[in-house]
Chain A
């Protein structure tokens, strides 16, 4: 079993939809959880960062971590075409481990 599992999609939604992206992980030692966004032909950029369980909100983006079920989520409200990218979850216990990424397309 991979340490961090992520559905690769692709996921296609209409503009304005609520998007839910999810990952599961197996290593209980992970304490730090991140979401990266990667546009085509660009490097990943850190989008959201969460320590331990709980929610974190930043504008249209909400990150959730449930350590009891080893499940992390990213919600995007009022999705925009500019949100079209690959989203990678990442977990860390000092060493950062990435999911494989989910390709999201938001259609105008």
Chain B
């Protein structure tokens, strides 16, 4: 089944403790992206990647890091999480940028206390 898989689904952590949210896709898509979704603010792009070793900032990149060492994987790293990063995070992949839409994962609900 074609899908984007993120882990974990739920995560509670403390301020300052580094964490990684993993994302993997099995559709051989070139493009991958991370979004956060917050009430009243909608979906906002954090980072995106056009191919292996090629990444760029989205609209809200502060406090996040990404890497794309393999085509199928695109982990999101929070090196020093803060409470304002409490949010619902989605990984997504696409064959050709945003023009044909993204396939989304099921989401990771992160709480930073």
CA distance A96 to B102 in the complex (A): 9
Query: In the complex, which residue of chain B has the Cβ closest to the Cβ of A2?
Result: B42
Chain B contacts of A36 at CB under 8 A? 101
Chain A stretch 41-69: residues in CB contact (< 8 A) with chain B: 41-46, 49
Q: Give Cα distance in the complex from A88 to B42, angstroms.
A: 9
A95 → B minimal CB distance (Å) = 5
Bound CA–CA A98/B4 (angstroms): 19
Total A-B residue contacts, Cβ distance less than 8 Å: 54
Quick check: A43 and B107 within 8 Å, CB to CB?
yes
For the complex, count residues of A whose C-beta is within 8 A of B: 23
Q: Could you say which residues of chain B place their CB within 8 Å of the CB of A88? A: 42-43
Known: A88-B42, A98-B42, A100-B41. A44 touches B104 (CB 8 A): yes
Residues from chain B with Cβ under 8 Å of A73 in the complex: none
A92 near B99 (CB under 8 angstroms)? yes
Contact A32 B99 (CB under 8 A): yes
- Report whether B104 and A92 are in contact in the complex, using a CB–CB cutoff of 8 Å: no
How far, in whole Å, are A46 and B93 apart by their CA atoms in the complex? 12
Q: Which residues of A contact B (CB under 8 A)?
A: 8, 31-32, 34, 36, 41-46, 49, 88, 90, 92-96, 98-101
Q: Which residues of B contact A (CB under 8 A)?
A: 4, 40-43, 45, 90, 92, 97-107
